[in-house]
């Protein structure tokens, strides 16, 4: 919890994500930042992975420390999602293969039963 009291007058000099006060010149405009070589908008990342929403009434800046941490977190979460998708594909493939083998086994059993039945006749 923050011991000092923040007011809306401080909004031009605090980071939206950590609420630390900086010189206004060292803060970056939260709306104009794209990460990963311009692929992803910072605000989209914040809204996807946090409870932060776009709001003109809240601080509109981010410090460089939080910016770096956001990019690292985004990269980590995307890698986790990518890894999970690969694992899902692998397990789905194995399950389909097992189902196919089970169908083949059932077909072979039916053929053997028919053969034995015809031999008895």
80 labelled as ligand-binding?
no
DSSP 4: S
Distance CA 2, CA 119 (A): 88
Six-digit token string for 78: 């995307």
Nearest Cα to 46, choosing from 21, 25, 15? 15
Six-digit token string for 104: 């083949």
CA dihedral 81, 83, 86, 87 (to 10 degrees): -110
Give the contacts of 105 (CB within 8 A, at least 6 positions apart). none
Annotated binding site for Zn(2+): 15, 18, 63, 66
Annotated binding site: 15, 18, 63, 66
């Amino acid at each position: 919890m923050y011991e000092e009291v923040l007011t809306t007058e401080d909004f031009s000099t605090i980071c939206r994500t950590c609420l630390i006060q900086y010189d206004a010149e060292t803060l970056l405009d939260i709306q104009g930042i794209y990460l990963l070589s311009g692929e992803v908008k910072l605000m989209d990342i914040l809204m996807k992975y946090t409870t932060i929403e776009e709001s003109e009434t809240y601080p509109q800046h981010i410090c460089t420390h939080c910016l770096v941490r956001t990019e690292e977190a985004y990269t980590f979460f995307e890698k986790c999602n990518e890894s999970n998708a690969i694992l899902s594909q692998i397990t789905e493939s194995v399950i389909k293969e097992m189902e196919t083998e089970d169908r083949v086994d059932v077909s072979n059993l039916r053929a053997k039963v028919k053969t034995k039945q015809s031999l008895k006749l």
